[in-house]
A and B are shown apart, each in its own frame.
Chain A
């Protein structure tokens, strides 16, 4: 079975811990994205799965086999590198054939496989050219072609689309997803682009400072962020994270003092676990509706900066306490600078985070 599992994997470079106690399992046919800001340890994690880095401690298990002691060439994996890592001295066709070199196939068989893959990745026209003489998009497709020509245990992608321009990136994202669906192998994709992760992954693992903060489906990490970091990292525009004082909770409604407003809002029953204390309230910019006048469940703010985004308009509003709140409204909603707003957060899309930054949820 094509599966990947890493257990309590840690990587230290001298005093610096790049990855700490990472646990992750990828089922056969599943695509998992490692998502995080640069330097969070996602590429190191991928390289440990590939065997290009040795884990300081912990286990890397691929297809049910512990791979800790095995060099990359014995792990039977395929990887696509950020800068493609094409073999400059070999033609496109020879590049694709390279991984087959070690499988002791007949020449006819190698040729047949190369041509088949070249067709899938639209490279038939450039098979005889050198990598330095093909376009950026073709280089990217060649990198993928070289990875899928074999039938490995699993696939690893390191920032596969980061070098492409926006338009190419969109079309390649679709193509890669299509190819991966057809292969049903365990796949790990490293990316710092949340859109890439949300669109391509079955599950997303969000990393920060060497720690995996949350693993979940694209829907889950967006709708139920496990902590303040995930909440702020996923979603554009960023979620509003407002410091607040929790005054009381009656099992249904929480009473909080938030950005100079006293607000009563329906909250998750688990909020009862919190004593009256400092909390962080998270509200997505699209989770507001505009009320006509002040009410118990509205936040008063003043429109300060207006950014039209096409279909929607992003408003930066200033609260009485001086904080900034981002609100997205439909394009046809006209808001003027300086206008007083009464923003009603949707309780279902309002998240409470405790003092430790963790989400409070049943």
Chain B
């Protein structure tokens, strides 16, 4: 048999140049550890496709397939998509007719609220970061520090004044209220991230653009921004994940129409007095995972460049 590297290459894997690739033993070791970390996610996904009556069975059923006989038959269940259906429509009382659960609305809310607020934070934060990086104020670092302090307190500490403020100005329960809150919530992080990306850029390139006839606005849009695309992607994904999973603010500040999935999930599970419906919960969680998974997946090339940015030689 030829060497493992050429085998992998024949499969279409290109070896990173100049980097010694690990052998099979080490690769397997890392894969096992990675798998252990992935078990909770896998468990949720399997529970989501489990028949409801097997959710709490003893001994537990573990897998929808025996993996070529690897798993004994008594631990194998036959998969079903029923749970996903009942996320959106199910009977709310025993024996009642199926009703619309409103989860389509909640999923829309989650997607709408997080993408708009993270997008807004990215626009405002990037402009602010460029300002902090290129047009420093007296005491620039102090301002940056003050901005960071807005994120130092846990949400539970600031939630009461925020609720009172939102009530007073009538923002409770509205889209604009929760979007504004999440935008502010993401700004500190966005400004700090983007400032470090702008700080890394070569000032000469901007000077060259000025000499070549660019105004300050064009320098920003045509020269600086294209160079920090990786940073924008990384900041967007991190912000999105934080906002997507946020629970406390959403619980206390969103209304019936603007409820996000984490809040709705909590209510779907604890209402009805029938105990927790674990397979339903797992189905919601699995669906909840998909949007961020897709965004991260499609931006992953940028992401890698983004998080390793500072270490790359110019």
Contact = CB atoms under 8 A, between A and B. Distances in A.
| Interface-central residue, A71, A86, A98, by most chain B CB under 10 Å | A98
Interface residues of B, number: 15
A246 B233 CA distance: 75
Contact of B226 (A75, A89, A98, A99): A89
Nearest to B228: A89
Nearest to B210: A72
Q: Describe B's contact surface by its main secondary structure.
A: helix
A85 B207 contact: yes
A197 interface: no
A171 to B, nearest CB: 24
Size bin of chain A's contact surface: 20 to 34
Contacts of B207: 47, 50, 52, 72, 79, 81, 85
A102 interface: yes
B53 interface: no
B222 to A, nearest CB: 8
Given A81-B204, A82-B204, A89 B209 contact: no
Contact of A79 (B208, B214, B223, B226): B208
B80 interface: no
A101 B210 contact: no
Interface in A80-120: 81-89, 98-99, 101-103
A77 B212 CA distance: 8
B22 interface: no
B117 to A, nearest CB: 28
A87 B227 CA distance: 9
Contact of A88 (B210, B213, B215, B227): B227
Contacts of A355: none
| Interface-central residue, A71, A86, A87, A103, by most chain B CB under 10 Å | A87
B202 interface: yes
Contacts of B205: 85-88
A329 interface: no
Contacts of A83: 202, 204
Nearest to B203: A85
A73 interface: yes
A32 to B, nearest CB: 19
B211 interface: yes
B221 to A, nearest CB: 12
A57 to B, nearest CB: 22
Nearest to A52: B207
A146 interface: yes
A43 to B, nearest CB: 11
A85 B204 contact: yes
A78 interface: yes
Nearest to A78: B211
Contacts of A87: 205, 208-209, 223
A77 B211 contact: yes
Nearest to A86: B205
Contacts of A71: 210
A79 B211 contact: yes
Interface in A177-218: none
Interface string A45-85: 00100111000000000000000000111010111011111
- The list of the 3 closest CB pairs from A to B, nearest first, reads A102-B213, A89-B226, A85-B204
